[in-house]
């Protein structure tokens, strides 16, 4: 079994935490046990608090600093995606809950005639956020929605010549950001090499779609992102190699765990050298208490339970395959 190939028993930290939500996923995803339906999690106090904060239009209000208001950034779109991702990935919610349906409708209300969902970077194209927004919508149950499929058509049209994606705004220096945000959306220079930050985030949307993961854009992107493991990005705000090892859950940016999680949908295994390197790196980084740190915590802080769970899911898949 996969656990026998690790240095320490990861179940130690899960049992010590005694977290009912973590324990639910440990039983279902790591131990293969049949437990109660996931909607048992929907009635937890923390879920009720999140839902209570939802606005009447389905959005969640962003409560931090809002410097982008002056040039049209839609903070509520970003916050609504974030809250929906949390409810879906950590509490197994889907569109059978009215809060998720309302949130999805708010996100779809930001879809343009071109097919993309726009607003996080004002009027500019956001293929990278498109990928993770679609991932969230598909997990909620919108994989066959016409609006979802139209968004994938748009993503396919935005590919680079090498088959990956970039963030068009990253073609320019940051001091031009405010000026560019106020203009027409800037198309990508498709001759540029792909960005693995952007491509990895887009791939997550394709990976969870049961049909589109078999498409040419998806399979090409999967091979591209695998080839870039541990390497420096071509151009993005997260170019350095260290960003491969900065984990969080629910997944946000492209990093080692989120990429390995996506690649499992494309038939890759530890017979592939790059996959083996990634799996071995995770094994080597396990803490003595059985868990893993996210790299966002301070050195003296404990391991991250959600990141540890995500890593265990990945290790179980590849080591047991």
Question: Tens of pLDDT along 23-46?
Answer: 999 999 999 998 888 889 999 999
Q: How many domains does the chain have?
A: 2
Residues 75 and 103 in one domain: yes
Is pLDDT of 175 > 90?
no
pLDDT-derived band of residue 237, with 50, 70 and 90 as boundaries?
confident
Please tell me the distance from the alpha carbon of residue 82 to that of residue 89, in angstroms, as a whole number.
11
**Same domain? 311 vs 218:** no
**Mean pLDDT along residues 137-151:** 98
Which pLDDT does position 35 carry in this prediction?
Answer: 85
User: What confidence tens digit (pLDDT) does each residue in 72-116 have?
Assistant: 899 999 999 999 999 999 999 999 999 999 999 999 999 999 999
Residue 239 and residue 285 in one domain = no
- Residue 51 located in a structural domain: no
Whether the pLDDT of residue 297 is over 70: the answer is no
243 — pLDDT class (breaks 50, 70, 90): very high
Are 160 and 12 contained in the same domain?
Answer: no
What is the pLDDT, as a whole number, of residue 302? 67
Out of 24-28, 213-217, 292-296, which region has the weakest mean confidence (pLDDT)? 292-296
- Burial per residue of 247-280, b for 16 or more beta-carbon CB atoms within 10 angstroms, e otherwise: bbbbbebbbbbbbbbbbbbbebebeeebbeebbe
Do residue 186 and residue 217 come from a single domain?
Answer: yes
Question: 254 and 273 in one domain?
Answer: no
Please indicate, yes or no, if residue 44 is contained in any of the structural domains.
Answer: no
Q: Based on the domain organization, do 107 and 239 belong to the same domain?
A: yes
**How confident is the model over 273-287, as pLDDT tens digits?**
999 999 999 999 999
Residues 26 and 171 in one domain: no
DSSP secondary structure letters along 178-231 = HHHHTSSPPPP-TTSPPPHHHHHHHHHHHHTSTTGGGSHHHHHHHHHHHHTTTS
Same domain, 178 and 293: no
Distance CA 239, CA 204 (A): 19
pLDDT-based confidence at 291, cuts 50/70/90?
Answer: very high
Same domain, 116 and 78: yes
Report yes or no on 48 lying in a domain.
no
pLDDT tens per residue across span 151-169 = 999 999 999 999 999 999 8
Which tokens go with 306?
A: 């959600």
Residue 27, token pair as written in the block: 């039983």
- Which residue range is the domain that position 147 belongs to? 56-263
Percentage of the chain lying above the pLDDT 90 cut: 83
Same domain (yes/no): 315, 222: no
**Average pLDDT of the chain, as a whole number:** 94
Q: What is the pLDDT of residues 7-21, one digit of tens each?
A: 999 999 999 988 999
Average pLDDT over residues 248-271: 96
Q: What percent of the chain has pLDDT over 70?
A: 98
Residues 127 and 197 reside in one and the same domain: yes
Structure tokens at 315: 């290790």
Whole-number Å distance between alpha carbons of 280 and 318: 11
Which of 216, 232, 263 is the endpoint of a domain?
263
């Amino acid at each position: 079994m996969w656990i026998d190939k690790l240095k320490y028993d990861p179940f130690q930290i899960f049992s010590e935490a005694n977290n009912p939500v973590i324990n639910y996923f440990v039983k279902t995803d790591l131990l293969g046990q049949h437990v109660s339906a996931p909607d048992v999690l929907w009635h937890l106090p923390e879920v009720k608090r999140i839902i209570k904060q939802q606005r009447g239009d389905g959005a969640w209000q962003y409560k931090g600093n809002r410097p982008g208001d002056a040039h049209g950034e839609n903070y509520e779109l970003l916050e609504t995606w974030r809250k929906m991702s949390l409810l879906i990935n950590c509490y197994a919610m889907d569109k059978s809950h009215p809060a998720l349906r309302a949130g999805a409708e708010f996100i779809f209300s930001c879809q343009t005639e071109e097919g993309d969902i726009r607003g996080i970077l004002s009027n500019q194209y956001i293929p990278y956020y498109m990928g993770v927004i679609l991932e969230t919508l598909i997990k909620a149950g919108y994989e066959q929605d016409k609006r979802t499929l139209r968004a994938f058509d748009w993503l396919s049209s935005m590919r680079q010549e090498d088959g990956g994606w970039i963030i068009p705004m990253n073609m320019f220096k940051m001091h031009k950001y405010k000026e560019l945000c106020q203009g027409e959306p800037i198309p990508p220079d498709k001759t540029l090499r792909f960005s693995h930050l952007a491509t990895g985030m887009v791939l997550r949307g394709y990976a969870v779609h049961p049909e589109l993961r078999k498409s040419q854009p998806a399979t090409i992107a999967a091979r591209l992102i695998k080839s870039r493991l541990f390497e420096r990005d071509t151009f993005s705000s997260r170019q350095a190699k260290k960003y491969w090892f900065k984990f969080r859950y629910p997944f946000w940016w492209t990093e080692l765990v989120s990429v390995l999680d996506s690649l499992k949908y494309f038939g890759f295994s530890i017979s592939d050298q790059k996959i083996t390197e990634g799996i071995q790196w995770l094994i080597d980084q396990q803490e003595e208490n059985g868990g893993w740190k996210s790299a966002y915590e301070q050195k003296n802080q404990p391991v991250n339970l959600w990141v540890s769970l995500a890593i265990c899911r990945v290790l179980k898949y590849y080591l047991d395959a």
